[in-house]
Amino acid sequence: MTNTNYNDRFLRACRKQEVDRLPVWYMRQAGRYDPEYRKVKEKYSLLEICRQPELAAEVTLMPVRKLGVDAAILYSDIMNPVASIGIDFDIVANVGPVIADPIRTMQQIERLKPVDPEADLGHILETIRILDRELNVPLITFAGAPFTIASYLIEGRPSKSYIHTKTMMYERPDMWFALMDKLGDMVATYLRSQVNNGSKAFQLFDSWVGSLSPRDFQTYVLPTIERIFASLSDLDVPKIYFPGVSSGELLPLLHNLQADVVGLDWRVSIEEGRRRLGDRFAVQGNLDPYLLTGPMSKIQEEAKHIMDLGMKQPGYIFNLGHGLFPEASLDKLRQLTEYVHEYSSQALSAKSEEV
């Protein structure tokens, strides 16, 4: 990190250190709301972009330049490492991940290979190295968590009910845990290689695990999540767990997790989220992304409310409660980022004068 203009607010907030203004970034900040990104997508699919490190780095940089956010998130997808373990998939426009041969048998699980990031995901590691050289904000890399990835591998495509996933969980716990073990190993190996190649923080996306009851989460999923974070505890980068949408009831179960930050969705307030998690974690979130369809005055009012709660103690990162959607407005996002920076810098300097 030779760059003296390096903006480390995001890393400081992850570690619950004081900041002069709140750091902000947005989940899915590289995406179709940006006309420049849509232009790239006219020529290449998501997976084709990922295979071209210079282009993937450029797409990662677009929102950093345009929005003025305090962190970059690698342009990739949670499905990328599964090709390496032997799964044939595609990302279909306006649908999401689609699997050629959904996992339904023990033989299919036994056939899954260990991931080899250097051999199979070299293009992604190269993108990380390029970004490490070019960025003056921290690069966040990520992986999909085992439940969320398993939901695609088993259902074969995005689902609302997760019926095949839950059927395997309840009917064949032997298969379920064998799959969790393999995906847990894949995720831990892949995240480690991301950090070794220059990422400054990582987020484990468990977007759909909120579909489970707290008891099922604890029995069928949490042991693997705890194992992943424990196995990476030697890495000196902030580690974020995002338990996805509707995950408020799961928060009290996370107290043993060796993560630094937990992402909240908008159904639980920052205050209540902190209460449920305990004091150890920094929190990240949690503006309802669909609020961005409203007028700027309403967006600012809600952002101010969230920031006032977040700034009550160190360890808060402004974000959405889930990813940006294609209809979001670039202009409103830019204004929101500016507003978060301005409002929080005033509020935090007034606060430091008080003491």
Amino acid identity for residue 4 in this structure: T
Residues interacting with ligand CP3, by CB under 6 A? 27-32, 41, 46, 73, 75-78, 91, 93-97, 142, 148, 158, 205, 207, 244, 323
Q: How far is the CB of 125 from ligand CP3 (least distance, A)?
A: 16
In whole angstroms, how close is the CB of 29 to ligand CP3 at the nearest point? 5
Rank residues 28 and 304 by Cβ distance to ligand CP3 and give the closer one: 28
Check the annotation: does 152 bind a ligand: yes
The answer to whether 275 is annotated as binding is no
Residue 31 marked ligand-binding = yes
Residue 8, token pair as written in the block: 């480390």
Min CB(153)–ligand CP3 separation in Å: 12
Tell me: is residue 45 an annotated ligand-binding position: no
210 is in an annotated binding site: no
Of the pair 209, 253, the CB lying nearest ligand CP3 is at 209
Task: Consult the annotation and say whether 83 binds a ligand.
Answer: no
By C-beta, is 49 or 311 nearer to ligand CP3? Answer: 49
- Largest separation between any pair of C-alpha atoms in the chain: 64
Q: How far is the CB of 201 from ligand CP3 (least distance, A)?
A: 13
199 in a labelled binding site:
no
| Shortest distance, position 107 Cβ to ligand CP3, whole Å | 26
Report the residue number, 29 or 211, with the smaller CB distance to ligand CP3. Answer: 29
290 has binding-site annotation: no
Residue 207 marked as a ligand binder: yes
3-state SS, the chain, equals: CCCCCCCCHHHHHHCCCCCCCCCECCCCCCCCCCHHHHHHHHHCCHHHHHCCHHHHHHHHHHHHHHHCCCCEECCCCCCHHHHHCCCCEEEECCCEEEECCCCCCHHHHHHCCCCCHHHHCHHHHHHHHHHHHHCCCCEEEEEECHHHHHHHHHHCCCCCCCHHHHHHHHHCHHHHHHHHHHHHHHHHHHHHHHHHCCCCEEEEECCCHHHCCHHHHHHHHHHHHHHHHHHCCCCCCCEEEECCCCCHHHHHHHCCCCCCEEECCCCCCHHHHHHHHCCCCEEEEEECHHHHHCCHHHHHHHHHHHHHHHCCCCCEEEEECCCCCCCCCHHHHHHHHHHHHHHHHHHHHHHHHHC
Closest distance to ligand CP3 from the beta carbon of 348 (Å): 27
* Distance in Å, CB of 129 to ligand CP3, minimum: 17
Distances (CA, A) of 120 to 60, 109, 114, 209: 21, 19, 11, 28
Binding site as annotated, residues for substrate: 28-32, 77, 152, 207, 322
Binding site as annotated, residues: 28-32, 77, 152, 207, 322
